[in-house]
Structure 1
Amino acid sequence: MSVSKPYIMLSDPLPVEGTSVWMRCGLENGTEPINYAWEQENRSGLVTMLAGVNSSLINITCVNRNHTGWYRCLARNEVNQQYSERIWLDVIYGPDVPQVDVTSSSVTEGGFSVLEKRNVSLVCQASSNPASQYVWFYNNSHVYSGPQLTIIKILRMHTGSYACVAKNTYLNTSSTKTTALTVYYPPDGAPSCTLSPVNNYTDLALFCSWVGGFPPATVKWSPYLNGKNREGATNITQIQAGPDTANNSVFICHGSHVALNAPQSCSTRTWLPYGEPQCFANSSRDNEYLMMSCSWEGGFPLALLWWASSSGDMQGTPEKNSNTLILHPSSNYSGKAFVCHAKHPLAKESMQCVVRLEAPVLMTQRSVVSVFEGNDVQLTCILNQSYPAVTEITWRNNMQQKVEDKPSKYAVKQAAGWSNLTVRETDGMADSGHYWCSAANAVGKAEIPITLLVISEFITN
């Protein structure tokens, strides 16, 4: 006779760890001999066959948490085999002694240390089934219920003893872990250091500050400036002679505090701007403004730049890194020079660059051009000098009209420094005369005539 579907009888579905429990695989029908096998599936889903068990009865004399899981039995004879339904064995245990972890902390003898005004979480974990309930005590006073006690911006007054009590409400058991929490309060972050020009851009002032903490932090510069080993509480300023300082010098401020295992530091570096000052002039499109720009980019601290006339009179105001002087157009500036002065503490002497302004000067290869009537002819205008550069060379015809107004009659082609005017299909009566080439910038303008002679091919004797 075939075996019927087996079933499991369990002496206690919720045994307490350390007690005994038995499981029996029951069977209504089946011809002997009948063999039995047992299968366990743990919490993680791993299925294993219980080794050495070939009986309808399993007796666990000292059950533990590792026995928790699903069980089913297999009954088989020579005719067939059948599995039972699964049954859950839930072992009750705990709580174990809690483990306490503290975020943003350092481990100290007997506890943890944290920095003031940090957000700190004390996390308590204790193995238990059912899961533990947690209660926190601070200096023997109840302060919170739950596994994680969070203190926002912890203060020095929160130093003390913290106890986590884990409770198993099913067994009415508990365990406790007590830890000491010490709040340190060094200055926040790291020292702050910088350098700035002093004494009319001839020297460097190095300033280091690390405010806060108790006791006050101490700060000092290295290398020791001017051969002196100076140290100050909270902040310190030292003057370094600019010309005596090598380019790309690095200065480090070291800050120390009894609350820190290692000193904190900041650094600052001084270096000359690259190359030399660069200056140039340009004007707005309609020559409404004359702009002179000077720059000496890079470096630390930034260089100081100012404009002066060729006679030495300062123009505008000093600026760092770059300086743009804006003037109204005037022909009085033609032939004049403007000087940009640049000063940096690491340079022994100030540097300069010069802008010389020039009104446009025009010329032509041929001031008189002749052509046979009916042919095209080209007039050429050359820009000999101009600073700032002109944006456009313009033409007017023999009737003082802009050639752009008659694109079918005239064509203009130009590039930097020259312009060509083509007169198409010349007419002796209409096209002969003076043509005018003009150019202007913010400091002046120029104009030259070119005479066009249109010759008729039919000449009577």
Structure 2
Amino acid sequence: MTGGITLGHGIMLLKNGAETVPVSKPFVHPTVAAAAEGTVVALTCAVREGTEPLSFSWHHQEPRGGPSAYPPGLEGFGPQLHLTPANRSHAGWYTCTVGNQVNNQTSEPVYLDIVYGPDEPAISVEPFSPEPGGFSVGEREDVVLSCLAPSNPPSRYIWLHNGSQVHTGQTYIMAAITRAQAGTYTCLAENTHLQTRTQATILLTIYWIPAGGPLCTAVATKGDDYVMLRCWWEGGTPPVTLHWWDGEGKALGDPGLSSAVLVLSAAGSLGGRDFVCMAAHPLRPAGADCRLRLEVPELEAERSEVVVLEGGEARLACRRRGSRADLGATLAWYDPEEREVTPGMAKYRVERGEDWVNLTVQDAEWPRDGVFFPGQWALPASLSTSVWTSRSRHHQKPPRTSKVNVTTTMNVIP
């Protein structure tokens, strides 16, 4: 070859154009092997030999072997490729192809790593039961908390419960969770390469239902003009919802949390009517109830006649028959002058229980303490209930007050 010009890197051009040097195998050189997301990165493609003009083309393959293509959002079609700025989609294998009129050569692939994250964590809860502001699970259930915060290198995960570390790892499993484990759960994600952290927090509510069932009572209010039905079942998360219904399935009043009160006018006929307090809770689909029947009590005296010597002591006893007196009924003894016998009165001692009342008459005296009846000296005493509950009063007017009486005759022998 004569009259030729030798260029750098062994590229030979002949003045007469008779010969053209083919391109050598190119190589790719990035400014950095691992770039932080958001920074500027350049890749340079170079050949040692080859007659100009040269053409350059770039190809990108995803890290896990995806399709090869010119990466979107890149600048440059010549020997340099600019990532301005680099993002996570730019990670992968890069090759360049250089050609001239003689041949084309493709470089060996070069890997460019993009370091990023962690992104804001996403927390998932199993079983999945979202509610406003967080998630809920039933007590004694197995709960799995999972956290995902995309990052390169992968995130390191730390779990906090109410601000205190409880676990390290992407998944946190709590077997047979208890109400003490309710509260906030924070997933802390860390990129150890970039020394960056992100976090997310959820509120976990533990549903539990109180033991037992609803209780209910009925009492008189406002001078015996009204009957108040009260139902309660305290505790639980969320609180138990209570609602009164009549015996025909009609809802009465407004529902309440842990307690429900229904006020009825005593002017109407309430005797013999049934009322049901229904309880509802997410953990008890079948529900529970407490039932009341408004009825007049049945009373009975222990003995219909008591005989006592003058100066002696007599015991009179009465009790409520049937179900317990748990609806606010009161039992009282009255003397022959229709005065209620109360604790502290001279000559009388009163003892009472939930559904019984006993009266002891001390130092029986004739005739002052007696009333004459043919053939005997007697001290009549009546047991009365002035009951303003649904089970013991006829709620009708007039009369305003209804009593159930039994009488024990006490014979005082002089």
Q: Which has the higher contact order (CA 8 A, sep 6+)?
A: 2
TM class by shorter chain equals: 0.3 to 0.5
TM-score, normalised to structure 1, is 0.43
TM-score, normalised to structure 2, is 0.47
